[in-house]
Amino acid sequence: MRRTLKAVGAAAAAATCVLAATAGTAQAEAPKVKSLYAPSALVLAVGQGEDADSVAVERAVTLTCAPRPSGTHPSAVAACAELAKVGGQFTQLVGTASDAICTKEWRPVTVSVRGVWNGKHVDWTTTFANQCTMKAGLGEGAALTF
């Protein structure tokens, strides 16, 4: 009986040593860098209504600019170039002067951009009085016309 207890005690001590040697503080592996570029992935949407949070979205596209232009935006290359030119300041893409003749009808249209531009969170919206004023305000720019 005494030999059995010694054998069990020795086995338990050996197991404890093995566990102590292998048990350590678990550490998460550092995330691997997949790209040298800051992320730039946006969702652009347009819809009827005054408030971007409750607007009925009619169209939406995705736009990724880094490391290369892609997404469902119909002119991703031109849109990314235009955004880079204004440093991601979407307000600079909206013009006020136009020779377009629009009615004064109030049927609000909201354009929104949400996502990440050069590693920074973006949540931008603007509202136009109607479709005509939206087209006049956005002009021929590629970034916000989709």
Phi and psi at 114, nearest 5°, equal -135, 145
Statement: residue 43 has pLDDT above 50: yes
What's the order of all strands across the beta sheet hosting 109-117? 56-64, 41-48, 109-117, 120-128
Q: What pLDDT, on a 0 to 100 scale, did the predictor assign at position 67?
A: 84
Q: What pLDDT, on a 0 to 100 scale, did the predictor assign at position 105?
A: 93
The domain segmentation of the chain, as residue ranges, is: 41-138
Q: Between 144 and 38, where is the model more confident?
A: 144
CATH number attached to the domain at 41-138: 3.30.350.10
The rounded mean pLDDT for the chain is 80
Give per-residue pLDDT as tens, 91-132: 999 986 667 888 899 999 999 999 999 889 999 999 999 999
Q: How confident is the model at residue 54 (pLDDT cuts 50, 70, 90)?
A: confident
